Structure 1
């Protein structure tokens, strides 16, 4: 029994526990389930890689459903930390990141979010030191706001109503988007917030209807929110004039399965042009093929982001243990920033699926292009790419 106990303790010491905080049943469930599935694939591949390289560790994934709810997210993080978990993939939403920030910093935990995009100040970070342990493998919404504004301009819109989710993420993206819309000479008729827990959309539907009815086809609706856009569209009557205008969504709506399952006909009418960070390598095709073979469908960009995040986090954690012999948050944070570049360059013998990952002083991805997706009769389709370096859109 004594020997068995020693062996078990040794095995436990060689396990790198990684917490995955994702939305499996809320407003980002399409993306959260994709992230869960792709992380399970990554877990297998990382353990095989460690074994082949003689790295004396194994990774073990612990998955929790946050429902994209900031309070639930903090509760789940605290529960996982109580189990000895110090490295987290996620959370997904910026409101969640904002709510766990103080817990992360006070307990010196390290998180890598694949999809939190609010500018640093919107998640409560006044200086880079505040985000020392918070990494995001996606550009901030200062990029996406520009992309949305340019999509509106390219679509010939002169007037828009903006509907946005009143939380840290929605506030940040709304601000960046409105600034770009105005810079592009587009008249912002109204900016309407909504409660993330909204059930009845009728007051907002009536308000928008009153504001844009009778206006020409140079008028549109910008929706900054999550998959609740499906509920909004479902509550709009089939003969509503709102369905005669172009709609623009964002990364919270792009490739939403809920939209296709619940309101495809209406979404086809308004197109719901939606922007999402877009960066894939040839290696991504192999992972996407494996994802499909397992019956998971098509992985989105954020799933690819978390796949790379898992690899960089796991390699960095193993190096930290080999050098320090124990968990050291400062060393781990330093290694993640260094290894993101090494991993991108193929120095570990593994190829990145999202291209070059360079992090800025805030530990956020430094740049990136955005895909423009629209709902067609055949489902979501990539219809254009917005180039972050030129601000130009290449329509496909």
Structure 2
């Protein structure tokens, strides 16, 4: 009997040992300017892990997936350190990093070591972050629309609103600068004047007052030229833009125009830092938005676990990236007998299509995944979010990729200029000045006018009578 139990135990152990762990690194921001989105990705991948492992079990596949999460703070140098650390642990598949500057900084290392990464949120054009040809970017995938699409959407916004001049502020990294350089020729072609652009450092400053002052100066020039309701602010920033707004004076002209945001600051929880000001300027921010058949199920599970109402788009992209990596890995090992990074590159493209078509019995949450020659997502719509009067993010419109036009639900309106009240001075009683009267005058004031003359006359009469 003991022998039977021992044999059973060995069988169970061998069964467990036979399940190969698919190790996937996750590089997200958990303590920097994209914390809202990084935490969202981490939470959503917890759901993906459980669902993928259940899928493997149901299909009789001896695999499990495990995620190794690292915080990069959206710092390119930290991202490289984390990639190197994961690689040292034998991890060759990574979801992330989030920022384009991070992707630019890790590209040489991941390429030379054949590490495959899928970023759910890096959007800068390949040429801006250092890729000359698609072959240079062979091991780097991005499951999000690039800035070429996003700037088309933003340019459409500005044209629809009749804007004639813009002040653009951007973070001085590959992503922020890339957005500016990508939209610049599009706005020039549309006849929209761009004031002197304002760049702040990648190491986000604590005090934005010098940049606020520069923005005000440039904005006033445009207002004088075109009028207030023909001018807007465009912010290519992360969530720190809400710190900037919090530091903006109440009487600043910046609060009298519409602000146009982007995917770096859309749907941010940091709006509470300056809620009334954000409500005033709207912050009409574009965000790649594509939903697939499995979205509702994921959103339900997300809410059930207490993560919030529903995951953001970047988290949905990461969820699909996890499925594609896991399914592709299994097929490569089945066909090759072991993992092969070059075969994996080709398999990812194939699996993305099959996964999008529902051929595995599971469906994407972020919609159809079509990749271009650069291994970037080739199409997709953009939602335009704004902060409504309730202080909540809401959909203002949808930019449609197919028509290159916007379907507005809430078209932006310029805020009314707040009249600066002139303080009413307090009424103070003016004290009556008391003048000292000379003693002689005081005595005279007590006398009846002409009294001295009467005395003199009486004295004269008395003298005449004595002579008589």
- TM-score bracket for this pair, using the shorter chain length: over 0.9
The reply to whether residue 383 of structure 1 matches residue 396 of structure 2 is: yes
Structure 1 residue 13, shift from structure 2 partner: 6.7
Matches within 5 A, 1:303-322: 303-322=315-334
Structure 1 residue 108, shift from structure 2 partner: 0.5
Matches within 5 A, 1:1-396: 11=17, 14-197=20-203, 198-213=205-220, 214-215=223-224, 216-259=228-271, 261-297=272-308, 298-378=310-390, 379-396=392-409
Question: Which sits farther off after the overlay, 381-390 or 96-105?
Answer: 381-390
Q: Distance in 2 between matches of 1:50 and 1:57?
A: 6
Q: Distance in 1 between matches of 2:295 and 2:256?
A: 37
Contact 2:123–2:144 (CA<8 Å) still a contact in 1?
A: yes
Q: Distance in 2 between matches of 1:8 and 1:156?
A: 69
Structure 1 residue 193, shift from structure 2 partner: 1.3
Indicate the structure (1 or 2) with the bigger Cα radius of gyration.
2
Alpha-carbon RMSD across the aligned residues, in angstroms, is 1.7
Contact 1:223–1:249 (CA<8 Å) still a contact in 2?
A: yes
Aligned length: 392
Contact 2:98–2:120 (CA<8 Å) still a contact in 1?
A: yes
Q: Distance in 1 between matches of 2:14 and 2:214?
A: 63
Structure 1 residue 323, shift from structure 2 partner: 2.1
Contact 2:18–2:62 (CA<8 Å) still a contact in 1?
A: no
- SS class of match (2:145): coil
TM-score (norm 2): 0.81
- SS class of match (2:127): helix
Contact 2:293–2:367 (CA<8 Å) still a contact in 1?
A: no
Contact 1:160–1:190 (CA<8 Å) still a contact in 2?
A: no
Give the 3 Å change call, closer, same or farther, for CA 13–72 of structure 1 in structure 2: farther
Structure 1 unmatched runs, 5+:
none
TM-score (norm 1): 0.96
Q: Distance in 2 between matches of 1:46 and 1:162?
A: 43
Question: Which sits farther off after the overlay, 316-325 or 143-152?
Answer: 316-325
Q: Distance in 2 between matches of 1:9 and 1:42?
A: 23
Structure 1 residue 9, shift from structure 2 partner: 11
Could you give the per-residue CA deviations for residues 354-395 of structure 1, whole angstroms, max 9, x where no partner exists? Answer: 111111111001111110000113311011000122211001
Contact 1:30–1:257 (CA<8 Å) still a contact in 2?
A: yes
Structure 2 unmatched runs, 5+:
1-8, 410-468
